Structures are given as structure tokens and as C-alpha cells.
Structure 1
């Protein structure tokens, strides 16, 4: 649901709450004035208006149960009905001379906060017309003793009550409405930030794909040269040189695999088709491949994911895990840990290390580009890519420093996303 409609839904619920207060206040006021003060009021029509407000509130609550969005027009109609009900009650109880005419200000202030400019002025015009009509047409109150001084004293007291009620309700509800609006603005700002980050990722992806294409030719040339060297007698006779050439060829093959992986992740070389696997097999394979070229002194791996679930294997998801493993190894070459578990319908992967941990400012801005404890150009992009890749799947990444030593980064991914869409690079 769009954030604007969600905000309108919250504000409409606030109007419902305000209307319940109005219903209670009107009932109490009618009872006190009619029986407590002995001022005769037309109880049946006033009770009918209260009943209509109750029906309106029940109808609005049923509307809120519907998942359709709430438009500004609905808020405008609700406020118009509130103003109409207030006008009718004032007509039956003294008209413009009733001190509770001040409640018009509350309705207009709510309109100015919730509605657009045109709708707000329309509400002002409607309330103003009602006020003018009450000056000419109303049912005067009949005081028991007809004492003008008593009437003036009651009017002053009623004006104070109306003032206190209006100001308290304004502070209460305008504060809550502003909080809803601030939440909406914060959400919109977060969406703009995410859009900027995704644009940054697209640019980096294009650069990586272009670099992979450019590297293909020189790597192929080096492979041919090494193949020629291996067949040359001068190298075949020297066992040390022959071993060096074999090692160079192995590292060159690894570079070619990395380049191919970049192209696969960007969607340019998916010739082998979709690979289906399970969570346990996928993580086991990723760990095995990563450990083939990295050598942590101690690697504690605990895969307790159960029951197992089918997912789609993808090179980009593997690269996400590689980035986390590499960061942990760089921070703590002596020890790192990996745990894989299941929480209901989510995959939880925790990567731990025994390094110095994250600095407070890095934790505060975790996942933003170029935020890293490493003092070198370009650092911090790995975690930035991890956070955004996981967010694309509807998951989340959290980081914390351990109580003793080191840090932990935890991925939480919905299995539904892994088993269907997968990553698109």
C-alpha cells in the first residue's frame, strides 16, 4: 500500500477517535444541561444526531477494515459530515450564541492539517456558511428564571469549557497527525535513499560487466602463452619453472572463473540454465568452494538448517556470502564462524569473527557505501552490495559487536524469495 494512503488511513482512524469523544461529550453535555441545569433541550432530534454520528463511526471502521487505499476525498467528506452534525446540534441549542460554536475552529484546523489547500478552503466556506446561518436561524434556549446575569455567567463558563476542550483536542490530535506525517516523510526519504543506492549499484554493475568483457581478451592471451611455455623444452627440463607455470595456469583459470561469474551474475551468460538445489547443499557447496582458495586458521561451520528446503542456486547469492566470508577472514585470520539455521519460513546465516569489531560510526551507518573500518579507497562497498542484494529479496542484514571480541553479521532471508525469483544480479 502506498505510504500516502497508509497515512490517510491512520488519520482517518484519528478522526474516528475524535468523533467518539464528540459523541461522549455531547451526551454528557445534553444530560447536564437538560437535567442538571433545568434548561429544556429538544432531546429527540439531538439524540438522533448523536445516533447518526455513531452510525458514521461504525461505517468508517468497517471501511478501514477494507484494504483499499484511503483518498483525501474521503477525509474531506468525513470532516464535512462532522461540521454538518456540529451545525445541527448548535441550531438546536441556541445557535451562534452557544459557546461551543468555537468547535468550528477544531474542525477547520484538522482540515488544514489533513487536506489539500482547495479542500481546506471549501471546508472553511462550509463552516462559515453554517456559522452565518446559525446567527439568523436557531432554536433559542429557554432559561428557567430568565435572568440575564445568569445567562451571561453560564455563557462565560461554557466559553471556557469550549476553549479548554478545543485547545486540548487540538494539541492531542494535531500532534498525532503530525507524527503520522513525519513517518510518511521519513519513509519517502528512505525510498529516495534506496533509489539512489540502487542507481549506484547499477552503475557499479555496468562497470563490473564492462571490466569483465575487457579482461576476457588479455586472460585468453595469457592462457595461450602459458600453454606454449609448458610445451617448450627449456621449461619442461626445469621442474621449478614447470611448477610455477602450473601454478600460474591455476591462478589464471581462477581469474577466468571470476570473470565468468561476473557475467553470469549480470545475466549475460546463463547458458547452463537454472540450477535447483537445497539450502543445506547450497551453503555447503559455497563454503567448500570458498575454503578451496582461502585458509582461515580455524573455521567453525555449523549448518543446522532443518527441515531442508528447495531453492534456486544463483551466482549472485554465492557472491553475497563470499563477501561476508572475506570480510570476516580479513578481520580475523585466526578464527571465524558460520552458523546456518531456520526460523519458521526464513533462512538465517550468521558470520562471526574474532577481530576488533565495528566502530560505532560504522554500525550506525551500516550498509551505506564507503563506510568501513578499513582506511583504503573504495572500502565499504562489499557490505553495501550485500545489504542491497538481500533487501531486494525482502530480507535484512544486521551487524553487531560481540560481548567479548569480534563482530557478527546476520542475514535473514525469506525462503519464498529464494525458492522462486532468486537474484537477478
Structure 2
């Protein structure tokens, strides 16, 4: 059996821009590196460098330029002490300040290595540390700058340096080995910076997208809470308002016509009746009351309610139901925020990119329920099908260029969308995570006519009504 719902009013563009509005805003002034952590690492470096110099010179008796090396260590100690005194230790450094701190550390270590053997010194591997931390915590621009600085320092130390401290000063590595070590360190810097940055950036994107998922869920829960509060207020205020109306009626009836208080009593009665009408109107709108979250709906009606904010006059929404054995009536689904927002995002995407029609097929059996959303557009781009569900995937196309919704539509052959701003690809990610949180699974594909097809499957046990 099937039921066709005629298209209604167009979706509000502000409502259609949900993924962009839910995207967490990054604060450029708030960094990921805490000053306290950086200072603690620096004091460890100061202690390690001072101890190494003392052991080499006083214990092993190797000749080293002690005064210049000690001044280099002292410079690091002063550069650590000054911010510790002048700034709060729990402050977070912005991207620029963090990069400057790491650049100073790299230059100071390079000076110390220059005085103690250059790349002959095995501690030259420590030049990789600032680049690694930068790639994990800072921006691409800062990481690129520190990588270039590290490569410059490595090449300089490979050519210019004091002899490595040695008992008779005769230690010398062949130039070919030093050249190979230089190339190895340069390649290590490049590989670590690129690899760590890519991994960290992916983690940051997933974290930001998960924050957007939580924001979407919190928003749905706040809406439901407001509806529940309105319904509870309407119920609780009914009794005292009825008492006020009764007393006002008696006062109006008992007071003489020429009484100076009769007008006040009539005004009180009219306002009480007005309040009663308002509460009756609230109670008559179940979609805005507690029934929106704490009650259940038949599956076709739930799909219709989820699609309502995104309707377009030019696109018809066709909902079909099919039983695969057992009960013939459509199953009841809880109207949870996760389900409503997840289905809403998928339906929004289908309606935006459909030409004339979006079909929703609801099938159920004794063990599971599935909702398949199909549009008559050109479907998902084949090269993105395997990555759908990853955050920001639709914002990148071709050679990594970021596209807005209209540019993405033009590149993929889809119709232009009604969304404002950049389409960051969070809609499908949010939908998948919310629906999986409700116990379902999501499958993406294209139908036999080329349109997009999304199938959501729940075990019937996951759709039991919430018990309050």
C-alpha cells in the first residue's frame, strides 16, 4: 500500500543550513598547547643539557667549549623562566606563539649541537622533536615553517660545526656518511611532519564533527524539553486558573452595576478566559508539547514529521509501506531526538537534490524495520560512495579543493541546493552517528535509475518505546 503526501511550503533556508550552523566554531586565539606543559618540557631539556655538559667535561674529561655551551643552556633557562613569571602557567598558547617557542627551542639546540660536533653528535636526533609536536598540535602553516627551519639547521650542522668531543680529538666521520645522515634526517623531518599532521588533522576533524553531532542531539533535546515544559505548565495551571475564573464570575455577578470594582472584576474574568484559551491552544498542538519526545508515532507519520521542515513545492514526497510477514499495520517508533534529527538530515539531503520526487519505502518484519530513502537526482558521486559517512568528505573534491554547496553540485552534476554558506559534509556524518546511536545501521548507494539511495535498518528490539 502507498500514500502520497503532496509537497507543501518550502523549507526555511535558515533551517536548511543545519550542518553549517552546527559546525563548531574554531577560535584562532585559543591554541592546543598549554604553557605549563611546554615550560615543564623545557626545564627537563635545561636539566638534561646541563647534566650532559657536566658529565662530558668533568667526568669523562672530553674537551668541549664549555663557556659558549653553558651560555646556550643558560639562554634556554632564561627563555623558560621569563614566560613562567610573566604569564599564567595554565594559559594556552595560540598558534603563532607556539611556533615561535618551538623555533627558539630548535635554534638553541642547533647552537648547542654546533658547539659539540654537529651531526656527529647522536643527540642531533632531538631536532625531530619540535617538528613532531608542531605537526600534532599546530596549523599547517606553522608546521611548514618549522619543517623548513629544521631542514636548514640540519644542512648547516652537516657542514659547519666544532669537532665532536673526543679524548684525543681524532674522531671524524667520512663525508659520505655525514651526507647520508643529513639526507636521512631531512627525509625523517619531512615524513614525520606530513604523516603526523595528516593523522592529527583527521583526529581533529572527527572530534569537531562529533562535537557537531552532540550539538545536534542537544538541540533536539532542548526543543523536546521546551515542549514538555509547555505541556506541563498548561496542565498545572489549569486548576488555579479555573479557580480564578470561578471567583471572578461570582464577583461580577454579585457586585452592583454602579460598583467601582465591577470593571476590575470583569477585566480579571476576561484575562482569565484569555489565559485559558492560550493553554487550550498549547494543549491542542501535540507536535509542540511533550508528545513530541515522550510519545510514539507510526513509522510513516514519523517520516512525514521529520521531513516537514525541508519540504519544497517542486518535490513530492511519496511514502510507501510494506510488510514482510507478521503484522500488517505499520510499526510504532519512538520519537527520539536521535531518530528525528538523523532521518531529518537524510530527508533534507534527498529533497534538496531531487528533481521531482523523493520515495520513502518502509518495510518491516518480526525482527527488523528498514526505511529506504530514494531520490530521482543523479545520485552520489561514485568516487565518494566508499567515503560517505566520514566527516567533511563532501567538502573535498578532486585535488583537495574545498567547495561550497553550489560548487559541489556543479562538479557532481546535482541540482543547486538552497543552503547558505559552505557545505562542510557534516549532514550525513551527523545523521549516521545519530541513527547508529539509536541502534540502527546506515547504508549508502545509488538506485538502478542513478538516484541516491540511503537505507536505515533497526532491529525491532532497538525501537521499543521509551519508559518514563
When the two structures are superposed, what TM-score results if normalisation uses the length of structure 1? Answer: 0.40
Q: Does 1 or 2 have the higher relative contact order (CA < 8 Å, sep 6+)?
A: 2
When the two structures are superposed, what TM-score results if normalisation uses the length of structure 2? Answer: 0.37
Question: Which structure dedicates a bigger proportion of its chain to helix?
Answer: 1
